[in-house]
Structure formats: C-alpha cells, structure tokens
Structure 1
Amino acid sequence: MLTKGFAMELGARNIRVNAVAPAITRTDMTSGIPADHLREETALTPLGRLAEPEDIADVVAFLASNDARWVTGRTVLTDGGRI
C-alpha cells in the first residue's frame, strides 16, 4: 500500500514509484543460510536456481529506465516464479 500511495501522491509530478520483491538472492548476506534450506528454496522455484544479484539488478534497471514509463504503484516479484 505504501508503494501505491506514494505513486498516487507523486504521479502528478511525473514521479513513478515501484518496489522490487526478490526471493533469496545469492549474496554474501545469504552465504550463511544452511545448504538444506537453500535446496528447499531452489526446489520451490520453477527456474531451478536461486537468484543472482544481476537478476534483481536487471529488474531495478528496467524500472528506472524509460522503458517502464507507464509502470507505477507496483511491486514486482523477482522470485523466479517461486511457488
């Protein structure tokens, strides 16, 4: 609701507001997650792997680009289709 509310408030100023909601992404911060939990997460993902930082960065870059000029007030799930 925060994203949508800000989009409603700022749209008249031509400011787009979106959020990105990633699943577990392979980073230094997630390196301590037990391997069995990572296998379970991978099994729940139709793409069969965890996200890499580049996967999330590409979505953020799209939303920041003019290609997303008609996208606002949305939360983009970047979870590899996680079930």
Structure 2
Amino acid sequence: MTGEPRVLLYSRPGCHLCDDARAVVARVCADLGEEYAEVSILDDPALLERYAEEIPVTLVDGRQHDFWRVDETRLRAALTRPRP
C-alpha cells in the first residue's frame, strides 16, 4: 500500500448526487478495507472549471472511473484488481 487512498471523490457541498456517491464509495471502501479521499471542487478553480458539470466524479488509482453516479459493482471490481 502506498499510503494514498485508491479512491478520490470530487464533490461540492449541497449536491444530492454527491451525497449518494459518498454513501456508495464509503460502503465499498469499508467493505474492502480501502480508504478514500473527498475534495470539494469549490476549493480549486481548476477542478471547478474541469468538473463543474460532471460531479460527483470518482477516480480510482488516479484515473476517472465514474461521474454523476457511482456504480457499486464497477467500483468493487476496480478495487479488487491490483494497483497498477
């Protein structure tokens, strides 16, 4: 393990899709013993410009995995594969 979470969730406060995504990410990560980090796109102008219309966005191992909705089955599958 590198110490960095495998899952990164880009979100913003008050976003109901972000709340839904967070619940899925938290559940899957807890089940699999993985950690995740969450970053508000409002805290970074570049992230806000890039992801304003796509949030929530999840990245797994540094690569974009999902946006708008998190597919629990796909996320579990991605996290059961070894890190690249």
**Larger RCO of the pair (alpha carbons < 8 Å, separation 6+):** 1
Q: Tell me the TM-score normalized by structure 2.
A: 0.29
TM-score relative to the length of structure 1? 0.30
More strand by share: 2
- Greater per-residue helix proportion: 1
Bigger radius of gyration: 1
